[in-house]
Amino acid sequence: MSAFLKLLFRNRLAAMGAVVLGAILLLVLVTPLLPLPDPNVTDTSQRFLRPFEAAGHLLGTDHLGRDLLARLLYGTRLSLAVGFAAAVIAAFFGSAIGIVAGYFGRRTDNIIMRGVDMLMAFPYILLALAIVAALGPGLLNALIAVAAVNIPFFARNIRGITVGLAAREFVDAAKLSGKGHLRIILTEVLPNVLPVIVIAMSTTVGWMILETAGLSFLGLGSQPPVADLGSMLGEARAALITAPHTSVVPGLMIFLIVMSINLLGDGVRDALDPRLKSGALSRPRSMTRVDRKGPVREAAQKGLLDLQALETQFHVGARVYRAVGGVDLHVKKGECLGIIGESGSGKSVTALSVMGLVASPPGVITAGAVRYDGHDLLSSGYREMRQRRGENVAYIFQDPLATLHPLYKVEDQLAEAIQSHHRVSDGEARERSLELLRAVRIPNPESRLKNYPHEMSGGMRQRVGIAMALANDPDVIIADEPTTALDVTVQAQILALLDDLRRERGLAIVFITHDFGVVAQLCDRVAVMYAGRIVEEGPTKAVLDAPAHPYTKRLIACVPELGGGQRELAAIPGLPPSVDDLPPGCAFAPRCHKARDACAQGEIPLDGTPPRAVRCLYPEEAV
């Protein structure tokens, strides 16, 4: 709770809203104690006094000579009370309906949501007017009407959330723990829905105050002589031109209340929504921010694509995650380089850094260089980077359903890849697209061109992804776990395809994976990453046959191989370190059985006789 409040008030606008709303609330709470004239006593001789015109009538008087300040404060009391009451009632019934519909699903859901849709088929005021017409004008009836027309909104909103929750595995687990439906709804679903209800309420209270004020404005809410803010405005309208202050005073009050509630509501939403907490709802820029402290030293060109001392970090709040902590890599023309590591090792971030595709914020490239054919891409800026993306260096990503655009046809996505770099006619682009689909061996390429991604299988989608990468005949392809989301039989086909293409076209491939089998079959050289750094590098066969780093050796031992029979598997105790809190020295030392004191002190260089290298003081093999 205190964490929530801290988060809430760190948001300056929300704090401002809270202060204004707090002041108004305080004022209306003490109103009966203030020395104010009776708000309902008329005195026609004192009509339409201007503000500050007469003593005792600070804000002047209305058309019947009643004190505006008194009426304003009592009216505010009433408006706030009615608005909050309507919000609570609507939230309670709406959420209850939404949870029941969302949790039970099927018929229950169907019937309830049909009814809700029916109510939402009315523009809300028609329903409110009809209810008020039936019940008769009056503030309580206006409250009922406003609450009733808002129930469907809550029901729909909460149902959507509940449907998602009901399908979550922890609900299944609760069922298996012996919980009944009521218990699950109250103890499993409700705690997860509650923040959403609070958010929905805090963002709609203002709206409900507006609506009740509206009904009163129409003369259907509070009845004379009692006034809420809406009816004050309604009564003042006739004298809008001659005595504008009688309109301005209640109007500004409504505006102040609703604005402060909206500010506070947004703050509550931001503080309760976990996605916003981590700053994840930031828009990634078109290119990763490059913020290098100091110049990059010159280095001899080693391959077509050279990474030199590359460092990429994520800055989240005060924390710095050193996802890539100084990586040197190169890949030559026609060569396949594998980068292998477990999740969090920084292999994907390394790959995305090459073309500035790391989401930024929070990603920042803080040091190093990415040289394509000797030219540093990171110093060139967005315009040049865009021209090289896809043209010189292309990507294939992991999950082809998420990485292909869902609303464009295959044909359009392929043509766009070409036309972003080359001025070709649509017909020509289509011809090229067809060729590309043939090149990746998609059966019936003509008809596939017209497909949307969701109409294809995972394997076919990944072939499209590969075709798109090939669109501009790039020299380097970076494949980021391209087969991880696929079934093994499909994976085998995709790997074979990539291998063929690479030989046919002389492509350089950087292949990111966590699978030693894949590396062994496809890659010429391999780099092993751990906690953001390369710990071992060398020709694939040499590294796999005689791993030099204890991590590599033990990781290979962990992988079960087919044909080994039922057995105890080797494991590495402990967990990889978090990259925002790396130990000094070797990051693997805390898990390493060979570690000595020296391992935890100072920088350990990546050393060896090319082409092999290892970052270890006590390697398994001398390299």
Partner 1 sequence: MGSYILKRLVSAIPVLLGITVIVFLIMAMIPGDPATAILGSYATPENVEKINRDLGLDKPLVQRYFIWLGNMLTGDFGRSFSLNRPVLDEVLERFNATLILAGTSFVLCAVLGVLAGVVSAARQYGLADKLITFVVLIGISVPAFFLGMMMILLFAVNLRWLPVSGMYAIYGGGDLADLLRHLVMPALALAAVATGVVARLSRSAMLEVLRQDYIRTARAKGVPERRVIMGHALRVAMVSIIPVLGIQAGFVLSGAVYIEIVFQWPGVGRMLVDAILTRDILLVQGGVVFVAACYVLFNIAVDVAQSLLDPRIKT
Partner 2 sequence: MTVALKVEDLSKTFALKKPLFGAAPPGVRAVRPMSVEVQRGETLGIVGESGCGKSTLARMLVGLLEPSTGRIEIAGKALDNADPAAFGRLIQYVFQDPISSLNPRKTIRQIMEAPLRLLYGMNREARDKRIAEIFDSVNLRHEFLHRYPHEFSGGQAQRIGIARALAAAPEIIVLDEPVSALDVSVQAQVLNLLGRLREEFDLTYLFISHDLAVVEAVSDRVVVLYFGSVVEVGNAKTIFNSPRHPYTRLLAESAPVVGRPLTAPEQKGTELPDPLNPPPGCAFAGRCPKATDICRREDPALRRMGEDQFAACHHPIEA
* Interface residue list for partner 2 (CB under 8 A): 168-170, 172-180, 183, 187-188, 191-192, 342-343, 441-443, 457-460, 463, 487-489, 491-493, 495-497, 499, 514-518, 520-522, 544, 554-556, 558-573, 575-576
Residue 219 contact, options partner 1, partner 2, none, Cβ 5-8 Å cut-off depending on partner type: partner 1
Residue 342 contact, options partner 2, partner 1, none, Cβ 5-8 Å cut-off depending on partner type: partner 2
Q: How far apart are CA 103 and CA 164, in angstroms?
A: 9
Asked whether position 177 contacts partner 1 by CB under 8 A, the answer is no
**Of the residues 3, 55, 274, 283, which one makes contact with partner 1 according to CB under 8 A:** 283
What DSSP letter does each residue of 351-381 carry, written as one string?
HHHTTT-S-TTTEEEEEEEEEETTEEGGGS-
Q: How far apart are CA 152 and CA 124, in angstroms?
A: 10
Residue 397 contact, options partner 2, partner 1, none, Cβ 5-8 Å cut-off depending on partner type: partner 1
- Only one of the segments 39-47, 192-200, 210-218, 489-497 lies at the binding site for partner 1 (rule: CB under 8 A); that segment is 210-218
Q: Which is nearer to partner 1, 145 or 592 (CB)?
A: 145
When computed from its CA atoms, the radius of gyration of the chain, rounded to whole angstroms, is 33
Q: Which is nearer to partner 2, 129 or 520 (CB)?
A: 520
Cβ atoms of 512 and 529 closer than 8 Å = no
Q: Which is nearer to partner 1, 8 or 359 (CB)?
A: 359
Q: Which is nearer to partner 1, 76 or 262 (CB)?
A: 262
Q: Does residue 323 sit in helix, strand or coil?
A: strand
Q: Shortest gap between Cβ of 233 and partner 1 (angstroms)? A: 6
518-577 binders of partner 1 (CB under 8 A): none
Q: How far apart are CA 171 and CA 166, in angstroms?
A: 6
**CB environment 246-262: b (16+ within 10 A), e (fewer):** bbebbbebbeebbebbb
Q: Which is nearer to partner 2, 427 or 565 (CB)?
A: 565
Asked whether position 432 contacts partner 1 by CB under 8 A, the answer is no
- Only one of the segments 50-58, 250-258, 317-325, 484-492 lies at the binding site for partner 1 (rule: CB under 8 A); that segment is 250-258
- Beta-bridge partner residues of 369: 308
- Only one of the segments 52-60, 239-247, 440-448, 504-512 lies at the binding site for partner 1 (rule: CB under 8 A); that segment is 239-247
Q: Which is nearer to partner 2, 330 or 461 (CB)?
A: 461
Q: Does residue 225 sit in helix, strand or coil?
A: coil
Q: Does residue 395 sit in helix, strand or coil?
A: strand
Q: Which is nearer to partner 1, 276 or 296 (CB)?
A: 276
Q: Shortest gap between Cβ of 454 and partner 1 (angstroms)? A: 5
Neighbours of 186 (CB within 10 A): 12
Residue 39 contact, options partner 2, partner 1, none, Cβ 5-8 Å cut-off depending on partner type: none
Residue 488 contact, options partner 2, partner 1, none, Cβ 5-8 Å cut-off depending on partner type: partner 2
**CB environment 194-213: b (16+ within 10 A), e (fewer):** ebbbebbbbbbbbbbbbbbb
- Only one of the segments 33-41, 277-285, 548-556, 611-619 lies at the binding site for partner 1 (rule: CB under 8 A); that segment is 277-285
Asked whether position 488 contacts partner 1 by CB under 8 A, the answer is no
Q: Shortest gap between Cβ of 134 and partner 2 (angstroms)? A: 35
Q: Which is nearer to partner 1, 166 or 254 (CB)?
A: 254
Neighbours of 34 (CB within 10 A): 10
**Of the residues 74, 103, 154, 217, which one makes contact with partner 1 according to CB under 8 A:** 217
Q: Which is nearer to partner 2, 235 or 335 (CB)?
A: 335
**Of the residues 19, 96, 163, 259, which one makes contact with partner 1 according to CB under 8 A:** 259
Q: Please enumerate in sequence order all residues whose Cβ is within 8 A of that of 396, keeping only pairs 6 or more positions apart, or say none.
A: 462, 465, 466, 469, 477, 478, 479, 480, 482
Q: Which is nearer to partner 2, 45 or 343 (CB)?
A: 343
Cβ atoms of 313 and 487 closer than 8 Å = no
Q: Which is nearer to partner 2, 127 or 174 (CB)?
A: 174
Residues in the chain: 623
| Of the candidates 353, 453, 440, the residue with the CA atom closest to the CA atom of residue 412 | 453
Q: Which is nearer to partner 1, 243 or 337 (CB)?
A: 243
Q: Which is nearer to partner 2, 300 or 569 (CB)?
A: 569
β pairing state of 525-530 and 289-290:
unpaired
Structure tokens at 174: 């609760």
Residue 1 contact, options partner 2, partner 1, none, Cβ 5-8 Å cut-off depending on partner type: none
β pairing state of 393-396 and 375-376:
unpaired
Helix axes 190-217, 245-272, angle to 10 degrees: 170
Asked whether position 468 contacts partner 1 by CB under 8 A, the answer is yes
| Of the candidates 89, 80, 102, the residue with the CA atom closest to the CA atom of residue 25 | 80
107-136 binders of partner 1 (CB under 8 A): 114-115, 117-127, 129-136
Q: Within 237-381, where are the H helices? A: 245-272, 274-277, 347-353
Q: Which is nearer to partner 1, 163 or 359 (CB)?
A: 359
| Of the candidates 534, 420, 537, 536, the residue with the CA atom closest to the CA atom of residue 471 | 420
Q: Shortest gap between Cβ of 517 and partner 2 (angstroms)? A: 3
Q: Shortest gap between Cβ of 203 and partner 1 (angstroms)? A: 10
Q: How far apart are CA 122 and CA 128, in angstroms?
A: 10
Residue 585 contact, options partner 1, partner 2, none, Cβ 5-8 Å cut-off depending on partner type: none
β pairing state of 305-316 and 363-372:
antiparallel
Asked whether position 210 contacts partner 1 by CB under 8 A, the answer is yes
Residue 93 contact, options partner 2, partner 1, none, Cβ 5-8 Å cut-off depending on partner type: none
Q: Shortest gap between Cβ of 555 and partner 2 (angstroms)? A: 6
Q: Shortest gap between Cβ of 173 and partner 2 (angstroms)? A: 5
Residue 405 contact, options partner 2, partner 1, none, Cβ 5-8 Å cut-off depending on partner type: partner 1
**Of the residues 144, 155, 213, 327, which one makes contact with partner 1 according to CB under 8 A:** 213
Instruction: Give the chain's end-to-end CA distance (angstroms, integer).
Output: 56
Structure tokens at 131: 């209810």
HEC string of 97-128 equals: HHHHHHHHCHHHHHHHHHHHHHHHCCCHHHHH
364-423 binders of partner 1 (CB under 8 A): 382, 386-391, 394-395, 397, 399, 402-408, 416-417, 420-421
Residue 19 contact, options partner 2, partner 1, none, Cβ 5-8 Å cut-off depending on partner type: none
